[in-house]
């Protein structure tokens, strides 16, 4: 993705870029993703990994074409349980993200996967894939764009707090920074006001411990 955003001074600001991460964005800004405000309030659920929000977006490496990112977010803790990247946005990209989430062992039987009405998510192939994992499918209402506000919020955050700092010259460098943000910062250290200013994994682990003790 191309563009720049100023470093945020508060506790939510991302880690400093490492050497070779990409070219820090300067005055030259070849392009940015359009902003799509999503008013509304995300629906939070009591049980971790019982309801997930999914989305895929494209990033813009300066050379080598587009890079697409698909995510699976736990609606209870806001933790990104699964993610996948590829140079296409076919159904298999979304399926790879869900496989990663399922591989954590955290998805409950009958978990609900919520998404927008993109063809990736409404296809028969995707429906059969979810059924095979024991996951129920949910899609947003027609014309109600904020139904998937939680997933949209995540993509706004990763762009503004991290990816806009760079002009990526290759897909590999863009992938490296997405991995660094999700696994090194967002899940473990980013504070959320809706979670009582705690990071997602802390909330997720607390909920799992409570379930085990019950």
Query: Tell me: the pLDDT tens digits for 137-179?
Result: 999 888 777 778 899 899 999 999 999 998 888 899 999 999 9
Q: Where are the alpha helices (H) located in 123-199, listed in sequence order?
A: 124-132, 149-161, 171-181, 187-189
Cα radius of gyration (the chain): 17
- For residues 49 and 108, the answer to whether their CB atoms sit within 8 Å is yes
**Span 174-199, mean pLDDT?**
96
> Given this model, what pLDDT does residue 56 score?
57
Which sign does the torsion angle of CA 15, 20, 21, 24 carry?
positive
Place of tokens 């209402």: 141
47, pLDDT greater than 80: no
End-to-end CA, the chain: 45
> Given this model, what pLDDT does residue 57 score?
61
**Span 121-134, mean pLDDT?**
95
197, pLDDT greater than 50: yes
Model confidence at 65, pLDDT cuts 50, 70, 90, reads confident
> Given this model, what pLDDT does residue 161 score?
95
d(CA 189, CA 87): 29
Model confidence at 66, pLDDT cuts 50, 70, 90, reads confident
**Span 18-25, mean pLDDT?**
48
What are the structural domain ranges in the chain? 43-213
Q: What is the mean pLDDT of the chain?
A: 77
**Span 5-30, mean pLDDT?**
41
207, pLDDT greater than 80: yes
Q: Of 103, 74, 111, 114, whose CA–CA distance to 202 is shortest?
A: 74
Which sign does the torsion angle of CA 59, 64, 70, 71 carry?
negative
> Given this model, what pLDDT does residue 123 score?
93
39, pLDDT greater than 50: no
135, pLDDT greater than 60: yes
Q: Where are the alpha helices (H) located in 37-184, listed in sequence order?
A: 91-103, 119-122, 124-132, 149-161, 171-181
Q: Of 162, 164, 161, 182, whose CA–CA distance to 70 is shortest?
A: 182
- For residues 25 and 165, the answer to whether their CB atoms sit within 8 Å is yes
**Span 24-38, mean pLDDT?**
37
User: CA 39 from chain center: how many Å?
Assistant: 18
32, pLDDT greater than 50: no
Tell which CATH architecture fits domain 43-213.
2-Layer Sandwich (3.30)
Is this prediction's pTM over 0.85?
no
76-87 pLDDT, tens per residue? 999 999 999 999
């Amino acid at each position: 993705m191309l563009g720049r955003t100023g470093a945020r001074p508060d506790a939510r600001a991302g880690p400093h870029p490492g050497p070779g991460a990409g070219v820090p964005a300067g005055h030259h800004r070849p392009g940015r993703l359009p902003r799509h405000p999503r008013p509304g309030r995300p629906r939070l659920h009591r049980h971790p990994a019982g309801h997930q929000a999914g989305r895929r977006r494209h990033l813009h490496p300066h050379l080598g074409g587009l890079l697409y990112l698909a995510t699976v977010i736990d609606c209870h803790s806001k933790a990104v349980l699964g993610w996948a990247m590829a140079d296409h946005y076919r159904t298999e990209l979304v399926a790879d993200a869900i496989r990663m989430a399922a591989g954590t062992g955290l998805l409950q039987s009958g978990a609900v996967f919520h998404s927008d009405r993109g063809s990736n998510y409404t296809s028969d192939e995707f429906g059969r894939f979810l059924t095979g994992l024991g996951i129920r499918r949910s899609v947003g209402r027609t014309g109600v764009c904020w139904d998937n506000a939680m997933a949209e919020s995540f993509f706004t955050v990763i762009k503004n707090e991290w990816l806009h700092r760079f002009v990526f010259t290759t897909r590999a460098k863009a992938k490296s920074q997405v991995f660094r943000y999700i696994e090194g910062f967002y899940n473990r250290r980013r504070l959320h006001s809706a979670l009582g200013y705690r990071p997602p994994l802390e909330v997720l682990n607390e909920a799992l411990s409570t379930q085990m003790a019950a």
